[in-house]
Amino acid sequence: MTRFALTVVRHGETRLNKEKIIQGQGIDEPLSETGFKQAAAAGIFLKDVKFTHVFSSDLTRTKQTVHGILEKSKFCKDMTVKYDSRLRERKYGAAEGRPLSELRAMAKAAGEECPAFTPPGGETLDQLKRRGKDFFEFLCQLILKEAGQNEQFSQEAPSSCLESSLAEIFPLGKNCASTFNSDSGTPGLAASVLVVSHGAYIRSLLDYFLTDLKCSFPATLSRSELTSVSPNTGMTVFILNFEKGGKGRPTAQCVCVNLQGHLAGVNKTP
Q: Catalytic pick from 11, 53, 198, 262?
A: 11
Question: 3-state DSSP call for residue 58?
Answer: coil
Q: Tell me if the bond preceding 115 is cis, omega within 30° of 0.
A: yes
Task: Tell whether residue 14 is among the known ligand binding residues.
Answer: yes
In 18-102, DSSP assigns E strands to 53-56, 82-83
Q: How far apart are CA 78 and CA 46, in angstroms?
A: 15
Contacts for 10 with CB less than 8 Å, ≥ 6 apart: 196, 197, 198, 199, 202, 230, 231, 232, 233, 234
Task: Tell whether residue 98 is among the known ligand binding residues.
Answer: no
Task: Tell whether residue 15 is among the known ligand binding residues.
Answer: yes
Q: How far apart are CA 81 and CA 177, in angstroms?
A: 28
Contact between 76 and 104 under an 8 Å Cβ cutoff? The reply is no
Contact between 256 and 227 under an 8 Å Cβ cutoff? The reply is no
Task: Tell whether residue 91 is among the known ligand binding residues.
Answer: yes
Q: Tell me the residue type at 115.
A: P
Q: How far apart are CA 118 and CA 95, in angstroms?
A: 9
Eight-class DSSP state of 73: -
Q: Catalytic pick from 53, 89, 146, 198?
A: 89
11 flagged as catalytic: yes
Task: Tell whether residue 88 is among the known ligand binding residues.
Answer: no
Contacts for 190 with CB less than 8 Å, ≥ 6 apart: 2, 3, 4, 143, 146, 147, 153, 159
Task: Tell whether residue 203 is among the known ligand binding residues.
Answer: no
Contact between 253 and 215 under an 8 Å Cβ cutoff? The reply is yes
Task: Tell whether residue 17 is among the known ligand binding residues.
Answer: yes
262 flagged as catalytic: no
Task: Tell whether residue 60 is among the known ligand binding residues.
Answer: no
Task: Tell whether residue 11 is among the known ligand binding residues.
Answer: yes
Closest CA to 166 of 27, 34, 70, 51: 51
Task: Tell whether residue 268 is among the known ligand binding residues.
Answer: no
Task: Tell whether residue 13 is among the known ligand binding residues.
Answer: yes
Q: Which residues are annotated as a binding site?
A: 10-17, 61, 89-92
Return the active site residues. 11, 89
Q: Which residues are annotated as a binding site for substrate?
A: 10-17, 61, 89-92
